[in-house]
């Protein structure tokens, strides 16, 4: 294992630990009524005024308080006369965050010994904060480093700030050892979150000033980051110890939902330096499943990689098959790895170690199977030439394995030989179900292990789940009972079976746990369910049929091994025993379900978010079995039977597909509900654009019925694409960027809606504070909903708002607590709570601004129509059938048109050449010989050459058609006459143009200048999508569209 903290004057000493304990020891003062706080944390959220009024600070106020606190730290650092005193001064200021009054239940010397042993299992230095510290270190003087020799590197690992163990870190370790039976996780979490807020504020000081960080700021950043990393590891170790001692209760997961500042989260999206040395044998999708865990974000994986590499470091990758050998997968999705999809699996290709591979196969005794009631298990008594069955009991061993490792199959008899087919009954010819049986050596293996543990039978899906639909359904219905009532569960994975545990050391146990986290068994959905039910006693199958206890392995590593590695199991509830009911307590439904290991629907989805099943539809079945005993085969049934008909709103903020099919009566009112707990395995979206289900901890509850979901959100209304086109704002570039994102949202999600809204989940506190998405997102993850009347709202998807662009629509965190049953419902229209100017902006994005004067380009033969956009000059000239010329903006074209985004700067053409008047691009809409129209680029002034659009050809024709439509508007003085109406409209603004979209979509036959055009509704809609929107997005008022000049 990589180096851990060793006692020294530059880190910590037992004398210093003793001094800290003695200084903060609780001393009873005679006559004093008040009891000092045993372990108190400075609270940036709450503050008591002089008149004893408790004030709850907003996010902005908290950030300001944190910045002020950090600036005081920086002042103290600058006032230090000598550089050697900087760390001491900083540590003294930092120690004011905690107020301690320790009350140890064991001798003080023993406390000191335990604390030193605990600290010695932390990494010597934390993983680097970001990836720019090589450059940062070069700006610091030698006084900031521990330099043993003049040639010692001035690096992150030699910084005094990253080696020194802060007083508060030692205090946290002391309190862990003094905690006794009391539960301190909530207080520890508060301290860690406070350090994170201060670190975030420190990082933002230089960013806000748009300058590199100063030496003092770099030291403070390293010091706080080191304290945060070590605090998290100690916290997770404390939680794991509680799980092992009293059992796991998922309701305590609140202590795991640490508040990760967005600055830090974004800094680590690409992976930390601890990711750079992962063995090639490691499946990156399996690693992603633990890296994205709520307890593992931004943790140190160096120890994990080292222990995994001790066993598998020299092995070749096995994820993706290629001509030149197997490759490591990208880790973007299970569909990118052949270990999940695309691998040819041969049932019963696995054999026991002692078998030569030529043993016979055993098949079921059908009469014996059907003669048993309830869950069937294979009995170890009787004939060894056929599988005999009995009812599963508490003396049954439950085997949990992965089919792709060769132990899969079904118990039915094999297909008859060709010469025997004539003996089959004709009526059964198409109904016969054949199996592959079970290799005899595997049966002997599990028979021997069962005997060793005092079992009379074993259960395994291969021999115990037939193909017949009725028998299969019955067997699946009993899976929970089989594993919950079994004597123990045996984990069978080919990577774990490589470990020789004859000489079992702590280091070897660490390697086993590292392999367990990323083995195939741990990233499958069915095995998760089996582990959740059988976690009261879990054993691991190793080499030569040796078996070790998972709990004993975890306890040994927790007591003596790496804290960084042990902490990764703090949320692995399927590998930890469930918490039983208290002795003598009444068996309430909650306590009974907790003891059985049942979890909430949100928690189950979080556990399954990175796990998949091979059989389509099994994800929902597993989802339901994690929540209770009843099998639900469809998502709609699962949601309808959810207890209390409530859901944590932050849980809904994910990319998971929603229940659709609104024509089905049973599905109405559930368009907001996820229809599966994970993403489809074959979905090939970039990982950073996929938002997995979060557990929704700390968020408010929403209530749902068949009419829809009713919940309180932070809400911002905006008009949809059918109501009013979004426009660029005048003034600062930030407003332009904000409006640009709003426009993208409107035309991506709200094409068919007159109104839209952006939603963000809130905390379950009366403070209207938002709950940030805890997964893989740089910015703010928002829900987009659409409506025609602001009464019935429909779920449209989620959108990640760029963290670098202001979010004015949620700046005031407007909360409409009376928001009607969202998605879809029938209730009163919501009204804003205030009428401030900010809220006026939230409800409307129609702004009116004057145009900036722009010098026109050299006038061609046809007077150009110039579109204005504040802050941007037109750089594209469009010729339309030799009848009109437009000067427009490439940035707008590429933003709103897939065609121009793909082809405007295509390397296949050189259209981006200087053109007269400062224009860079020149494109021409022309007619072809076959009568069709296309859009082409002018090539170096040498004439027109068709750009190869192929798939976009239809879009190009639509662009041309509408260009001609616009030309007709101009030549008709902007007047449009419908043959179905006796009056006409003036087309002079975007609003009037947009209004015509709704009108044109109703008719197949329209007339322009006496020339009838026959256009399909679909064509009209696409015209407006691919070109009208482009022109409209440049500026609200078309200039000079209107009466022709």
pLDDT tens figures, 885-929 = 777 777 666 655 556 666 676 544 444 445 555 677 777 765 544
Give the mean model confidence (pLDDT) for residues 585-611: 83
Enumerate the H helices of 486-585 as residue ranges: 506-518, 525-533, 550-560, 563-566
Contact between 615 and 650 (Cβ < 8 Å): no
Contact between 512 and 553 (Cβ < 8 Å): yes
The percentage of the chain sitting over the pLDDT mark of 90, rounded to a whole number, equals 35
Give the model's confidence band at 492: pLDDT under 50 very low, under 70 low, under 90 confident, else very high: very high
> Which pLDDT score is estimated for 605?
94
Give the mean model confidence (pLDDT) for residues 799-821: 54
pTM over 0.95: no
User: Of 236-250, 443-457, 565-579, 976-990, which gets the smallest average pLDDT?
Assistant: 976-990
Both tokens of residue 452? 């060793």
Give the model's confidence band at 653: pLDDT under 50 very low, under 70 low, under 90 confident, else very high: very high
> Which pLDDT score is estimated for 980?
31
Both tokens of residue 213? 């960080």
> Tens digit of pLDDT for each residue in 21-45?
999 998 877 776 667 888 999 888 7
> Tens digit of pLDDT for each residue in 125-164?
999 887 788 888 888 888 888 877 666 788 899 999 999 9
CA 992/CA 99 separation, integer angstroms: 66
Residue, of 717 and 795, whose pLDDT is higher: 795
Which residues does 542 contact at the CB level (< 8 Å), separation at least 6? 496, 497, 499, 500, 501, 512, 548
Enumerate the H helices of 973-1042 as residue ranges: 990-1000, 1017-1023, 1029-1034
> Which pLDDT score is estimated for 652?
94
Both tokens of residue 338? 């052949």
Give the mean model confidence (pLDDT) for residues 555-573: 93
Give the mean model confidence (pLDDT) for residues 589-617: 86
> Which pLDDT score is estimated for 1011?
32
Give the mean model confidence (pLDDT) for residues 106-119: 95
Give the model's confidence band at 300: pLDDT under 50 very low, under 70 low, under 90 confident, else very high: confident
Task: Classify the C-alpha dihedral 266-270-272-274 as positive or negative.
Answer: positive
Enumerate the H helices of 926-1015 as residue ranges: 953-971, 990-1000
> Which pLDDT score is estimated for 873?
73
Task: Classify the C-alpha dihedral 1015-1020-1022-1026 as positive or negative.
Answer: positive
> Which pLDDT score is estimated for 636?
92
> Tens digit of pLDDT for each residue in 826-876?
232 333 333 222 222 222 222 222 222 222 223 335 677 776 555 567 888
User: Of 18-27, 222-231, 288-297, 1004-1013, which gets the smallest average pLDDT?
Assistant: 1004-1013
Instruction: Report helix, strand or coil for 501.
Output: coil
Contact between 563 and 370 (Cβ < 8 Å): no
Give the CA distances from residue 507 to residues 4, 102, 306, 554, in Å, rounded to whole numbers and listed in that order.
14, 34, 11, 12
User: Of 30-39, 295-304, 670-679, 870-879, which gets the smallest average pLDDT?
Assistant: 870-879
- By the 10 Å C-beta count (0-12 exposed, 13-18 middle, 19+ buried), 180 is classed as exposed
> Tens digit of pLDDT for each residue in 376-392?
999 998 777 899 999 99
Residue 743, pLDDT > 90, answer: no
Q: What's the first-to-final CA gap in the chain, in angstroms?
A: 80
Give the CA distances from residue 1 to residues 7, 129, 312, 502, 551, in Å, rounded to whole numbers and listed in that order.
17, 21, 15, 21, 22
Contact between 649 and 699 (Cβ < 8 Å): yes
> Residue by residue, what is the 3-state secondary structure of 664-690?
CHHHCCCCCCECCCCCCCCCCCCHHHC
Domain-wise residue ranges, the chain: 14-267, 865-1034
> Tens digit of pLDDT for each residue in 310-320?
999 999 998 98
The percentage of the chain sitting over the pLDDT mark of 70, rounded to a whole number, equals 70
Residue, of 717 and 727, whose pLDDT is higher: 717
> Which pLDDT score is estimated for 614?
82
CA quadruple 835, 838, 844, 846: dihedral, nearest 10 = 130
> Which pLDDT score is estimated for 950?
30
- Give the number of other CB atoms < 10 A from CB of residue 938: 20
- By the 10 Å C-beta count (0-12 exposed, 13-18 middle, 19+ buried), 869 is classed as buried
Summary mean pLDDT of the chain: 76
CA 526/CA 1033 separation, integer angstroms: 50
């Amino acid at each position: 294992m990589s180096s851990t903290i060793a006692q020294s004057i530059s880190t910590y000493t037992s004398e210093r630990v003793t001094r800290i304990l003695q200084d903060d020891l609780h001393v009873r003062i005679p006559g004093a009524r008040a009891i000092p706080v045993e372990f108190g944390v400075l609270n940036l959220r709450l503050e008591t005024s002089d008149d004893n009024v408790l004030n709850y600070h907003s996010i902005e106020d908290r950030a300001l308080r944190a910045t002020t606190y950090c600036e005081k730290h920086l002042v103290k650092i600058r006032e230090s006369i000598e550089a050697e005193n900087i760390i001491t001064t900083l540590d003294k200021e930092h120690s004011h965050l905690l107020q301690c009054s320790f009350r140890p239940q064991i001798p003080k010397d023993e406390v000191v010994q335990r604390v030193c042993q605990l600290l010695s299992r932390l990494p010597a230095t934390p993983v680097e904060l970001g990836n720019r510290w090589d450059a940062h270190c070069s700006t610091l003087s030698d006084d900031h480093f521990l330099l043993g020799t003049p040639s010692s590197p001035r690096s992150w690992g030699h910084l005094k700030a990253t080696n020194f163990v802060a007083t508060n870190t030692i205090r946290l370790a002391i309190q862990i050892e003094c905690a006794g039976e009391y539960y301190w996780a909530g207080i520890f979490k508060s301290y860690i979150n406070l350090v994170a807020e201060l670190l975030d504020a420190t990082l933002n000081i230089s960013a806000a000033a748009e300058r590199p960080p100063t030496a003092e700021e770099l030291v403070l950043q390293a010091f706080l980051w080191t304290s945060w990393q070590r605090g998290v590891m100690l916290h997770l170790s404390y939680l794991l110890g509680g799980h092992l001692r009293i059992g796991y209760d998922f309701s305590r997961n609140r202590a795991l939902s640490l508040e990760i500042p967005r600055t830090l989260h974004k800094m680590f999206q690409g992976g930390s330096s601890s990711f750079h040395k992962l063995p090639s044998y490691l499946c990156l999708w399996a690693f992603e499943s633990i890296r994205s865990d709520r307890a593992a974000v931004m943790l140190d994986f160096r120890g994990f990689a080292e222990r995994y590499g001790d066993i598998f470091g020299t092995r070749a990758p096995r994820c993706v098959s290629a001509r030149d050998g197997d490759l490591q997968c990208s880790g973007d999705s299970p569909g990118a790895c052949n270990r999940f999809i695309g691998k040819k699996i041969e049932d019963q290709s696995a054999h026991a170690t002692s078998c030569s591979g030529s043993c016979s196969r055993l098949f079921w005794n059908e009469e014996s199977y059907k003669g048993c009631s309830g869950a069937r298990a294979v009995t170890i008594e009787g004939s060894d030439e056929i599988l005999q069955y009995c009812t599963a009991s508490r003396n049954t061993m439950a085997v949990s394995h992965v089919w792709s490792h060769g132990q899969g199959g079904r118990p039915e008899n094999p297909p008859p030989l060709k010469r025997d087919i004539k003996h089959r009954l004709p009526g059964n010819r198409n109904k016969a179900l054949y199996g592959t049986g079970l290799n005899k050596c595997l049966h002997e293996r599990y028979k021997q292990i069962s005997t060793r543990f005092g079992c009379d039978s074993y259960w395994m899906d291969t021999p115990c789940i037939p193909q017949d639909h009725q028998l299969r359904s019955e067997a699946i219905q009993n899976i929970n009972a089989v594993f919950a009532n079994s004597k123990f569960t045996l984990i069978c994975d080919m990577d774990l079976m490589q470990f020789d545990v004859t000489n079992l050391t702590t280091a070897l146990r660490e390697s086993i746990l590292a392999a367990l986290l990323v083995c195939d068994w741990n990233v499958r959905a069915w095995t998760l369910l089996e582990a959740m039910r059988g976690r009261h006693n879990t054993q691991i199958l190793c080499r030569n049929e040796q078996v070790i206890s998972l709990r004993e392995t975890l306890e040994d590593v927790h007591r003596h091994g790496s804290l960084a590695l042990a902490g990764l199991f703090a949320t692995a509830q399927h590998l930890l025993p469930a918490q039983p009911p208290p002795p003598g307590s009444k068996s309430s439904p909650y306590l009974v379900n907790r003891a059985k290991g049942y979890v909430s629907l949100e928690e189950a989805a979080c556990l399954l978010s990175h796990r998949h099943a091979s059989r389509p539809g099994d994800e929902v079945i597993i989802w339901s079995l994690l929540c209770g005993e009843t099998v639900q085969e469809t998502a709609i049934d699962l949601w309808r039977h959810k207890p209390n008909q409530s859901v944590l709103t932050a849980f809904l903020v994910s990319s998971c597909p929603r229940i659709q099919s609104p024509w089905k009566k049973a599905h109405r009112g559930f368009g907001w509900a996820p229809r599966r707990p994970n993403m489809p395995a074959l979905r090939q979206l970039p990982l950073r654009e996929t938002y997995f289900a979060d557990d929704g901890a700390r968020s408010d509850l929403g209530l749902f019925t068949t009419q829809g979901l009713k919940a309180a959100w932070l809400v911002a209304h905006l008009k949809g694409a059918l109501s009013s086109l979004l426009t660029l704002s005048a003034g600062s570039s930030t407003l332009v960027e904000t409006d640009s994102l709003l426009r993208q949202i409107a035309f991506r999600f709200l094409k068919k809606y007159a109104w839209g809204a952006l939603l963000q989940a809130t905390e379950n506190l009366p403070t209207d504070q938002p709950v940030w998405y805890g997964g893989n997102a740089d910015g703010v993850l928002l829900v987009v909903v659409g409506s025609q009347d602001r009464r019935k709202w429909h779920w449209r998807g989620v959108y990640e708002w760029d963290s670098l662009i202001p979010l004015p629509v949620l700046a005031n965190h407007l909360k409409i607590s009376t928001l009607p049953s969202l998605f879809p419902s029938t209730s009163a229209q919501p009204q804003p709570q205030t009428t401030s100017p900010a809220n006026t902006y939230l409800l409307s994005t129609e702004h009116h601004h004057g145009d900036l004067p722009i010098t026109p380009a050299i006038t061609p033969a046809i007077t150009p129509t110039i579109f204005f956009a504040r802050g941007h000059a037109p750089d594209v000239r469009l010729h339309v059938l030799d009848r009109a010329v437009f000067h427009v903006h490439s940035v707008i074209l590429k933003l709103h048109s897939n065609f121009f985004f793909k082809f405007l700067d295509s390397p296949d053409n050189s259209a981006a050449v200087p053109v007269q008047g400062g224009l860079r691009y020149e494109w021409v809409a022309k007619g072809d010989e076959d009568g069709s129209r296309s859009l082409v680029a002018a090539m170096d002034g040498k004439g027109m050459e068709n750009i190869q659009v192929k798939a976009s050809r239809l879009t190009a024709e639509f662009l041309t058609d509408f260009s001609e439509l616009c030309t007709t508007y101009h030549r008709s003085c902007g007047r449009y006459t419908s043959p179905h109406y006796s009056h006409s409209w003036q087309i002079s603004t975007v609003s009037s143009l947009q209004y015509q979209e709704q009108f044109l979509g109703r008719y197949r036959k329209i007339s322009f200048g006496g020339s009838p055009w026959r256009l399909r509704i679909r064509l009209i809609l696409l015209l407006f999508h691919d070109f009208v929107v482009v022109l409209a997005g440049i500026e609200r008022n078309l200039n000079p569209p209107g009466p022709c000049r």
